[in-house]
Structure 1
Amino acid sequence: MDPRIKSGDDVERYGAEPLTDTEFATLIARLAPFVSHPKLGLAVSGGADSMAMAVLAADWAKSQGGAAIAFIVDHGLRPGSAQEAATAAAALRRLGIAATILTLTDLDAGSAMPARARMARFAAIEAACMDAGIIDLLLAHHAADQAETVIMRSLRGSGPAGLAGMAAVSETARLRILRPLLTVAAGRLRATLDARGVGWAEDPTNVDGRFTRARLRAARGDRQGDGPATRALTASAQADGLTRATAEAAAANWIAAHATIRPEGFALLPRCPWPIDALAALLRMISGAQHLPPTDALTPIVGDPAGAIGGGICIAGVRLLPAGRLGPGFLLCREAAAIAGPMAATSAANWDGRFRRPGTCPALPDETIAALGADAARLRDWSTLPSVVLESLPAYRSAECTLIAVPSLGWPTPEMVLPRRMLFHPARPAAGATFAPS
Structure 2
Amino acid sequence: MALIVDHGLRPESAAEAAGVAAQLAEHGIAARVLALSLPGGAGLQERARAARRAALLEACHAAGAVHLLLGHHARDQAETIAFRALRGSGARGLAGMAPLSVAAEALLLRPLLDVPQARLFATCAAAGLRPVTDPSNADPRFARARLRQVGGLEALLAAAPAFAARRAREEAAVLARAATCLRLLPEGCAFLDHAALGRDATARALLAALVRMVGGRPHAPSSNAVARLLAAGQGSLGGCVWRGGWLAREAAAQTIPARPGALWDGRFRLPRDPSLEDGQVAALGPAAAARMRARHRHLPSLALAALPVLRGGDAMLAKAAHLPYRETLCAGLSAARFTPLGGPLAG
Q: Following TM superposition, by how much is the alpha carbon of 1:292 offset from its aligned partner in structure 2, in angstroms? A: 2.0
Query: C-alpha distance in 2, partners of 1:430/1:405?
Result: 28
Q: 2:260 pairs with 347, 368, 389, which one? A: 347
Alignment of 1:367 onto 2:279: yes
Q: CA contact under 8 A between 1:251 and 1:281: conserved in structure 2?
A: no
Q: Per the alignment, in what secondary structure is the counterpart of residue 194 of structure 2?
A: coil
Q: CA contact under 8 A between 2:324 and 2:334: conserved in structure 1?
A: no
What corresponds to 1:57 in structure 2?
none
* 1:127-172 per-position Cα deviation (integer Å, ceiling 9, x unaligned): 2111211111111111111111111111111111111111111111
What corresponds to 1:421 in structure 2?
335
Q: Following TM superposition, by how much is the alpha carbon of 1:415 offset from its aligned partner in structure 2, in angstroms? A: 7.7
What corresponds to 1:252 in structure 2?
175
Query: C-alpha distance in 1, partners of 2:143/2:31?
Result: 30
Q: 1:92 pairs with 24, 37, 43, which one? A: 24
Q: Following TM superposition, by how much is the alpha carbon of 1:409 offset from its aligned partner in structure 2, in angstroms? A: 2.1
TM-score, structure 2 normalization? 0.91
**Structure 1 spans left out of the alignment, 5+ residues:** 1-68, 221-226, 323-329, 434-438
Q: Following TM superposition, by how much is the alpha carbon of 1:300 offset from its aligned partner in structure 2, in angstroms? A: 3.2
Q: How does 1:263-342 map to 2 (within 5 A)?
A: 263-272=186-195, 273-274=198-199, 275-302=203-230, 304=231, 308-309=232-233, 312-322=234-244, 330-336=245-251, 339=252, 341-342=254-255
What corresponds to 1:178 in structure 2?
109
What corresponds to 1:121 in structure 2?
52
Q: Following TM superposition, by how much is the alpha carbon of 1:283 offset from its aligned partner in structure 2, in angstroms? A: 1.2
Q: How does 1:94-243 map to 2 (within 5 A)?
A: 94-104=26-36, 106-220=37-151, 227=152, 229-230=153-154, 232-243=155-166
Which moves more between the two structures, 190-199 or 402-411? 402-411
Q: Following TM superposition, by how much is the alpha carbon of 1:414 offset from its aligned partner in structure 2, in angstroms? A: 7.2
Q: Per the alignment, in what secondary structure is the counterpart of residue 311 of structure 2?
A: strand
Q: Per the alignment, in what secondary structure is the counterpart of residue 380 of structure 1?
A: helix
The alignment yields a C-alpha RMSD, in angstroms, of 2.0
Q: CA contact under 8 A between 2:74 and 2:113: conserved in structure 1?
A: yes
* 1:58-100 per-position Cα deviation (integer Å, ceiling 9, x unaligned): xxxxxxxxxxx11112222111111111111111111121111
**Structure 2 spans left out of the alignment, 5+ residues:** none
Q: CA contact under 8 A between 1:340 and 1:352: conserved in structure 2?
A: no
* 1:25-46 per-position Cα deviation (integer Å, ceiling 9, x unaligned): xxxxxxxxxxxxxxxxxxxxxx
> 1:428 and 1:213, CA in 2 relative to 1: closer, same or farther beyond 3 A?
closer
AA at the equivalent of 1:341: Q
> 1:418 and 1:219, CA in 2 relative to 1: closer, same or farther beyond 3 A?
closer
Work out the percentage of aligned pairs sharing the same amino acid: 45
AA at the equivalent of 2:323: L
Q: Per the alignment, in what secondary structure is the counterpart of residue 160 of structure 2?
A: helix
AA at the equivalent of 1:346: R
Q: Following TM superposition, by how much is the alpha carbon of 1:420 offset from its aligned partner in structure 2, in angstroms? A: 4.0
Q: CA contact under 8 A between 1:313 and 1:320: conserved in structure 2?
A: yes
Larger Rg: 1
* 1:112-133 per-position Cα deviation (integer Å, ceiling 9, x unaligned): 1111112222222222111211
AA at the equivalent of 2:278: D
> 1:332 and 1:419, CA in 2 relative to 1: closer, same or farther beyond 3 A?
closer
Query: C-alpha distance in 1, partners of 2:111/2:127?
Result: 20
Alignment of 1:404 onto 2:318: yes
Query: C-alpha distance in 1, partners of 2:163/2:313?
Result: 50
* 1:276-296 per-position Cα deviation (integer Å, ceiling 9, x unaligned): 111111111111211222212
Q: CA contact under 8 A between 1:317 and 1:334: conserved in structure 2?
A: yes
Q: Number of matched residues? A: 339
Greater relative contact order structure (CA < 8 Å, 6+ sep): 1
